Amino acid sequence: MVRSRFHTVGALGWMVLVLSLVAVGGCVPPPPDGGGSSGSLALSLSSSLDGDGASKATTITSAQLLDTSGPVAATATIAGGVATFDLSGVTAGDYFILVNNLADDLVPTRIDDASADTTQLVGRTLETSTIGNAASPTYKFRTFAKGQAASVVVKYSDGTAAPPERYAYARASLGASPQRLDLRTLGTDAQLSTFTPGGGGHTFSTWIFSHGAAVNASCAGCHGDLATHPANWSTITTGNGWCFRCHYGQGGGFEDTTQ
């Protein structure tokens, strides 16, 4: 009973203090539990993620965090080559980073918890990036951007450009269970397709970003005729036009499966 009385007195004292400060136009201190703290997103360049594209940035001179409708959600502070975003007022979700005003080479990112500190690495080509531990990342991204002369998003029906002009990126959720690949559009984040591995002896984390160069005749042993184009995307199976699950055949652009 004594403990409860002290708690009540403490709460009343806090309310009186807040009301007094408001009345005189003073600042209201944070509540005793320190709630409302914000995290940060730190982006750095890493040559280990360069890939084979054209180099776009040798240092980061400016960076803005864009939400999926375009407005700037946060502007980074640049120090020591690291772009750090204060995530105050930023909610969890998918965003894009505009590095050095290179609008054709947006870097996708994902914030799971805006109150936590997130570290992201990106190659100097601005194509490949990771979030989390570099050796075992939570997320890995690969962009197919206009700035790298990648293919536009195409129609599933015939492989021609799907209006409006869009470019794709891949996000591998490597920390999820099961792991998942999402193909989405740069800038708007609209989903193109999603894929969850079903076994088959492939290591998902390495195969999903490198299988293009490895597709050969031996793949047909499990996947059948990879060049076959099923009339409907929904009828694709691992042994029936499997390449068309994500893009228009071998080496084709990523598809808008609704067109």
Residue 129: give the domain boundaries: 37-148
Regarding whether 252 and 187 lie in a shared domain, the answer is yes
Tell me: do 71 and 129 sit in the same domain. yes
Question: Could you tell me which residues come within 8 angstroms of residue 122 by beta carbon, excluding any fewer than 6 positions away?
Answer: 43, 44, 45, 46, 49, 99, 107, 128, 129
Residue 119 has pLDDT above 80, yes or no: yes
Query: What mean pLDDT is predicted for residues 96-124?
Result: 97
Q: Which CATH number covers residue 55? A: 2.60.40
| pLDDT band at 178; cut points 50, 70, 90 | confident
Its pTM stands at: 0.80
| Spatial CA neighbour of 142 closest among 168, 120, 166, 164 | 168
Give domain status of residue 87, yes or no. yes
Q: What is the pLDDT of residue 18?
A: 35
Stretch 158-184: mean pLDDT: 91
- Co-location of 47 and 104 in the same domain: yes
Q: Is residue 158 part of a domain?
A: yes
Structure letter (DSSP) for residue 161 = B
What is the pLDDT at residue 226? 74
> How many domains does the chain fold into?
2
Short-list 171, 158, 162, CA closest to 256: 162
**For 33-79, how does the pLDDT look when each residue is reduced to its tens digit (9 = 90+)?**
334 578 999 999 999 999 888 899 999 999 999 999 888 999 999 99
122 and 156 fall within a common domain: no
Q: Is the pLDDT of residue 27 over 60?
A: no
Do both 87 and 114 map to the same domain?
A: yes
Buried b (16+ CB within 10 A) or exposed e, 110-126: bbeebeeebbbbbbbbb
Q: Is position 10 within any domain?
A: no
Alpha-carbon distance 138 to 175, whole Å? 4
For tokens 């920390």, what's the residue? 175
Residue 23 has φ and ψ, to the nearest 5°, of -65, -35
**Taking the CA atoms of the chain, what radius of gyration do you get in angstroms?**
24
Q: How far apart are CA 180 and CA 204, in angstroms?
A: 9
Predicted confidence at residue 22, as pLDDT, reads 35
161 in a structural domain: yes
Specify whether 123 is located in the same domain as 80.
Answer: yes
- Residue 129's Cα: distance from chain center in Å? 9
Tell me, yes or no, whether 144 and 158 share the same domain: no
CA distance 256 to 259: 6
Strand order in the sheet with 128-131: 77-79, 82-86, 40-45, 117-122, 128-131, 139-144, 168-173, 180-185, 191-195
Give pLDDT, residue 74. Answer: 97
